[in-house]
Amino acid sequence: MGKELQTLDYVVFFIYFIIVAGYGYWIYQRKKNPNTSVNDFFLAEGSLTWWAIGASLIASNISAEQFVGMSGSGFAMGLAIASYEWMAALTLIVVAVFFMPGYIKNKIFTMPQFLEKRYSPLVATMMAVFWLLVYVFVNLTSILYLGAIAVSTISGFSFMACSLFLATFAIIITLGGMKVIGYTDVIQVAILVLGGLCTTYLALDLVAQQSGMTGALAGLSQLREQAPTHFHMIFDESNKYYKDLPGLTVLFGAMWIANLNYWGCNQYITQRALGAKIETARSGLLFAAFLKLLMPIIVVLPGIAAFVLYQKGMFHSEMVNELGEVKPDKAYPVLLNLLGPGLKGLSFAALTAAIVASLAGKANSIATIFTLDIYKKYINRGADDGVQVRMGRWVIIVAMLIAISVAPQLQKLEQGFQFIQEFTGLISPGVVAIFLLGFFWKRATANAAFVAALLTIPLGLAFKSYMPEMPFLNQMGYVFLILVGLMVLISVLDPRSKQNKDALEIDTQAFRTSSAFAAGALLIIGVLAALYIVFW
pLDDT of residue 42: 64
**Residues 494-509 pLDDT 10s:** 877 665 665 666 667 7
C-alpha pair distances (Å), 68 with each of 143, 186, 264, 490: 11, 22, 25, 44
C-alpha 244/C-alpha 242 separation (Å) is: 5
**Quick check: 50 and 202 in contact, CB under 8 A?**
no
Domain boundaries, the chain: 7-412+506-534
The model's confidence at residue 344, banded by pLDDT at 50, 70 and 90, is confident
The model's confidence at residue 452, banded by pLDDT at 50, 70 and 90, is very high
Question: Which strand (E) or helix (H) includes residue 363?
Answer: helix 343-370
C-alpha pair distances (Å), 490 with each of 193, 445, 479, 521: 48, 8, 16, 37
If DSSP codes are grouped into helix, strand and coil, which group holds residue 326?
strand
The model's confidence at residue 170, banded by pLDDT at 50, 70 and 90, is confident
pLDDT of residue 499: 59
Residue 326 has phi, psi (to 5 degrees) of -75, 130
Note the Cα 506 to chain centre separation in Å: 27
**Residues 293-324 pLDDT 10s:** 988 998 889 889 888 888 887 776 666 666 66
The model's confidence at residue 416, banded by pLDDT at 50, 70 and 90, is very low
C-alpha 92/C-alpha 272 separation (Å) is: 13
CA angle (5, 139, 117) in 5-degree steps: 145
C-alpha 513/C-alpha 460 separation (Å) is: 37
Q: What is the DSSP string of 28-86?
A: HHHH--TT--HHHHHH-TTT--HHHHHHHHHHHH-SHIIIIIIHHHHHHT-GGGGHHHH
**Residues 186-220 pLDDT 10s:** 777 777 788 788 888 888 888 888 888 888 888 88
Residue scoring higher pLDDT (275 or 372): 372
pLDDT of residue 449: 92
**Residues 128-149 pLDDT 10s:** 888 888 888 888 888 888 788 7
Domain 7-412+506-534: homologous superfamily in CATH: Sodium/glucose cotransporter (1.20.1730.10)
pLDDT of residue 484: 96
pLDDT of residue 480: 95
pLDDT of residue 90: 94
Query: In this prediction, what percent of the chain has a pLDDT beyond 70?
Result: 88
Any idea which of 52-56, 65-69, 206-210, 491-495 has the lowest mean pLDDT? Answer: 65-69
The model's confidence at residue 415, banded by pLDDT at 50, 70 and 90, is very low
Say whether pLDDT at 29 is over 90: no
Say whether pLDDT at 512 is over 50: yes
Say whether pLDDT at 393 is over 70: yes
Segment 248-253 shows an average pLDDT of 83
Residue scoring higher pLDDT (351 or 440): 440
Other Cβ atoms less than 10 A from the Cβ of 422: the count is 15
pLDDT of residue 8: 86
pLDDT of residue 523: 95
pLDDT of residue 486: 95
C-alpha 131/C-alpha 113 separation (Å) is: 13
pLDDT of residue 414: 44
Residue scoring higher pLDDT (413 or 523): 523
Segment 364-369 shows an average pLDDT of 88
The model's confidence at residue 43, banded by pLDDT at 50, 70 and 90, is low
Residue scoring higher pLDDT (203 or 351): 203
Note the Cα 108 to chain centre separation in Å: 21
